[in-house]
């Protein structure tokens, strides 16, 4: 347990129940922001996403899409004659999250000179 200079205690329970902490655990992985960014443009099929995100494995893309769908940020629609095309798109919740991620990105760009270089392994 640690305290800030003002003496405020941040308990493990408070940390675990924090809405921001819970959200970052859901979308703070390596690939979710990239998927959300692409889907903000339009709906994408699985293979389109696979080709559009350099370095992601098909397995990790599948996992990321499932998590984002389970959390309600994206929807998965299949349709058409076999072979049915599956399309992923942002839900209204996902679109509202994209706006916040965009604002965070603008902040990061504006303050990049003020931030220390990232350390890949701490």
Question: pTM of whole model > 0.75?
Answer: yes
Domain membership flag for residue 10: no
Specify if 77 maps to a domain. Answer: yes
Domain that holds residue 67: 31-106
Tens digits of per-residue pLDDT, 3-60?
556 677 888 888 888 888 888 888 889 999 999 999 999 999 999 999 999 999 999 9
What CATH number does the domain containing 49 carry? 1.10.10.10
- Total count of domains within the chain: 1
Q: Residues of the chain with pLDDT > 90: what percent?
A: 53
Instruction: Cis check for the bond before 74: say yes or no (omega within 30 of 0).
Output: no
Q: What is the pLDDT of residues 42-53, one digit of tens each?
A: 999 999 999 999
Among 33, 25, 35, 30, residue whose Cα is nearest residue 76: 35
Domain assignment present for residue 74? The answer is: yes
Tell me whether the omega of the peptide bond preceding residue 81 falls within 30 degrees of 0, making it cis.
no
């Amino acid at each position: 347990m640690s305290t800030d200079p003002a003496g405020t205690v941040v308990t493990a329970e408070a940390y675990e129940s924090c809405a921001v902490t819970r959200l970052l655990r859901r979308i703070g992985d390596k690939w979710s922001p990239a998927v959300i960014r692409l889907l903000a443009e339009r709906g994408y099929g699985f293979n389109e996403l696979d080709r559009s995100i350099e370095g992601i494995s098909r397995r990790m893309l599948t996992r990321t899409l499932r998590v984002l769908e389970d959390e309600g940020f994206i929807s998965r629609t299949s349709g058409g004659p076999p072979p049915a095309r599956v399309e992923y798109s942002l839900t209204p919740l996902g679109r509202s999250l994209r706006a916040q991620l965009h604002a965070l990105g603008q902040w990061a760009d504006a303050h990049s000179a003020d931030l220390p270089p990232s350390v890949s392994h701490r």
